[in-house]
Amino acid sequence: MKSKFRHIALLGKYHLPQPGSSKPSSRLVLESIAQFLHTQGCEVVLEHETAANSGLQGYPVMDVQGIGQSCDLALVVGGDGTMLGYARQLAAYNVPLVGVNQGRLGFITDIRLNAFSETLRPMLRGEYEEDKRALMHAKVWRDGHCVFDALALNDVVVNRGATSGMVEMRVEVDGHFVANQRADGLIIATPTGSTAYSLSAGGPLLHPSLPAWVMAPIAPHTLSNRPIVLADTGEIAIDLVAGRDASANFDMQSLASLLLGDRITVKRSQHAARFLHPRGWSYFDTLREKLHWNEGVA
């Protein structure tokens, strides 16, 4: 049976194997996946930075915009951070993504590298589960002007400076004052990001089907300041009241330095990331495996 996807892009983070490591280089991995896709009747395109860094040749090369406009599927090889970066860029084009895990955790890159061909073969025929993940649209405002604009799939984080004390933030939800928070920072996380930094800060896990965010303080001065789950239909606004060298991070991949009086606004983006998983995939299976639930239970 022919592949449902004719034009597939390969995107990945380049790395060389560490001395003594049994992991193959990214070039060998990408080459073996590209050859497999070719045997399935697919036309393979390489993302331009992936091609340049890996040195893999013999395939057409496109930038992310070109991939978004012309490809049926994006196959991302790497870890969750690699997937986050490409998911944000491709969300506007509604291109589905499949993740082959070459990292460690693999919450959203869930295909094992050593079993990619057996797993991908039925998926290419249309046997998969589709999973849409909402993105956040965040802006940094200064003196009434937007000075930074970014999307985030995991989280928006306001952090104190590395050598400074706590930051003080005034938080509003839909124009209603919530609280002045004194803490090391504040996390606004999507359900996708609820298993990342927010979880480390004591936030709850949110099922990805929920239209919700979690707002979690980082080491709050007042211990009664606890994580709260909010509807993602409104707007969260954070004003920086006090603190030096603070910054706003977006998926921990882009950063804006903040000045006192800056305002960070967070809304739900009009775009969503589309992830494809193997047939029978379950979010609870992922949690059980990645968080080591049930270990030691007979």
Domain positions in the chain: 7-126, 135-270
CATH H-level, domain 135-270: superfamily: Probable inorganic polyphosphate/atp-NAD kinase; domain 2 (2.60.200.30)
How many CA atoms are closer than 13 Å to the CA of 147, on its beta-carbon side?
A: 16
DSSP per-residue string spanning 270-294 = EEEEEEEEETT--HHHHHHHHTTTT
Residue 217 is predicted with a pLDDT of: 96
DSSP per-residue string spanning 13-65 = ---PPPTT--PPPHHHHHHHHHHHHHHTT-EEEEEHHHHHHH---SS-EE-HH
Which is nearest to 158 in space by CA: 147, 171, 144, 174? Answer: 171
Does this chain's domain 7-126 share its CATH topology with 135-270?
no
Within 10 angstroms of residue 231's Cβ, the number of other Cβ atoms is: 12
Residue 13 is predicted with a pLDDT of: 75
**Nearest-10 Cα torsion for 259, 161, 79, 38:** 40
pLDDT tens digits for the chain (298 residues)?
A: 577 999 999 999 765 555 555 556 778 889 999 999 999 999 999 999 999 888 888 999 999 999 999 999 999 999 899 999 999 999 999 999 999 998 777 889 989 988 899 999 999 999 999 999 999 999 999 999 999 999 999 999 999 987 778 999 999 999 999 999 999 999 999 999 999 999 999 999 999 999 999 999 999 998 889 999 999 999 999 999 999 899 999 999 999 999 999 999 999 999 999 999 999 999 999 999 889 898 765 5
Q: Which residues are catalytic?
A: 80
7 forms beta bridges with 43
What is the dotted CATH code of the domain comprising 7-126? 3.40.50.10330
Residue 107 is classified by DSSP as S
pTM above 0.75, yes or no: yes
Provide CB contacts within 8 A for 256, sequence distance 6+. Answer: 140, 147, 148, 150, 247, 248, 250
Which is nearest to 216 in space by CA: 255, 164, 171, 253? Answer: 171
